[in-house]
Amino acid sequence: MKRNQIILLAAFAVSIFGGSAAAKELQQPVLSPITYTLNDDTTASPSDGEAWSLFNRDGEGLEINGWAQFGYHDRTTGLFNTNPKEVTTHQVWFEFDKASDADAEGFGLGYHFDLMYGADAPNTSAFGNLNGGWDTGSADSGNGSGWAMPQMYVEGHVGDWTVMVGKFYTIVGYEVVQAPGNFFYSHAKTMNNSEPFTHTGVLASKTTEAGVDLSFGYSSGWDTGFQSNGSNGILGLGKSIGDNLTVNYATTFGDISDTENGYTHSVVVQVNLGEKMDYVFQTDYVDTTTRYEIGVNQYLFYTVSDDITLGARLEWWRSGANLGTGSEYSFTSGINYRPETRFDLILRPEVRIDWDQTSENTDVIFGMDAILTY
């Protein structure tokens, strides 16, 4: 067994046998992208003590939770879902979190790391490393699946600031790699093509007296794992305006790799349209020495009941500075259904239509996955 695989498995074993577990909802480290899924329904959360859980939830010490995602799609999207007409194990995920303590003396240190297995491992490994390393050697075992450790960081507090040091998920964008954090089974083109997934570096965050969520930091390039392949800054601003409008802005700038320099940003706006309906607008922009990309995504969600939510996503993504070429489009409609069982289970069927301005035919893709949270 390769050294990196041994390290990943050893870390997993130490955490399983070395600490107690408590319930925790899926979260990004800081300045969370606005998400709308059935996980927001706290009445059905595993933390209420009624749903089945793999781990003992005593609310103390090391918190462990995770999920398993299995899916089927009849055609490839080229964006994560690349095994058509097969039942795919996308993510078997474990999160390990020892919360930092803002009220403790000193830094009140805590830590967090993730370990996952599945077909999504190559997409969430440190593929930005110039010469491999970290989890890139174990991310694909030769059958399209493997192990990855997408996050490993230490967190502490300095005054009003929460500071993370290590490898962590990006604050850029709306959709995330972790399956329970998204409404749809498939991913948007902007998320896959124009955003980083992870950073290795430092990120500080706080909420100002004006109610602005502020984050800034530094990373050694996009999607690296404790190896330098760039040098870029990170800045995030978030603000709730009234009760029905939230705006997030996040940017990376500088050397996002050793061969690419420039500026990127993502703006996400969520509008609450009443008790049952939400609208999300997102735009991404990438302008570097090697590419020019822009995308606009729109989402609409309608809550039918505690168990069923309907959603639609309309995308436009363009690669290249010429407005008349390089444009791609997609429309996805789907359902989130949470059956009434003692298990925290979500079923997400969807129909996706992809096309561009040069194609006479459209690609119609049916997909469905199931996510069991434990």
| pLDDT at residue 11, rounded to an integer | 45
Average pLDDT, the chain: 85
Determine contact, residues 338/346, Cβ cutoff 8 Å: yes
pTM: 0.83
Strands 88-98 and 292-303: unpaired
Determine contact, residues 186/81, Cβ cutoff 8 Å: yes
DSSP secondary structure letter of residue 132: B
Q: Is the dihedral of CA 132, 167, 191, 138 positive or negative?
A: positive
How many domains are contained in the chain? 1
| pLDDT at residue 99, rounded to an integer | 87
> Which residue has tokens 């046998």?
17
Residue 281: helix, strand or coil by DSSP? strand
| pLDDT at residue 56, rounded to an integer | 67
| pLDDT at residue 50, rounded to an integer | 64
Determine contact, residues 191/302, Cβ cutoff 8 Å: no
| pLDDT at residue 339, rounded to an integer | 92
CA distance to 264, 322, 364, per residue, from 295 (Å): 12, 14, 21
Confidence of residue 25 (pLDDT cuts 50, 70, 90): very low
Top mean pLDDT of 29-33, 59-63, 312-316 is at: 312-316
- Tokens representing 140 are 């694909």
- Tokens representing 286 are 């990438």
Q: What pLDDT digit, counting tens, does each position of 113-141 carry?
A: 999 999 999 988 988 887 777 878 787 77
Residue 234: helix, strand or coil by DSSP? strand
Q: How many helices (H) and strands (E) does the chain have?
A: 3, 17
Domain that holds residue 244: 3-373
- Above 70 in pLDDT, residue 36? no
CATH number for the domain that contains residue 256 = 2.40.160.10
What radius of gyration do the chain's Cα atoms show?
20
Of the candidates 276, 246, 172, which has an alpha carbon nearest to the alpha carbon of residue 215? 172
Q: Is the dihedral of CA 182, 184, 190, 194 positive or negative?
A: positive
Listed in sequence order, the residues at least 6 apart from 4 whose beta carbon sits closer than 8 Å to its beta carbon are: 133, 134, 135, 136, 137, 138
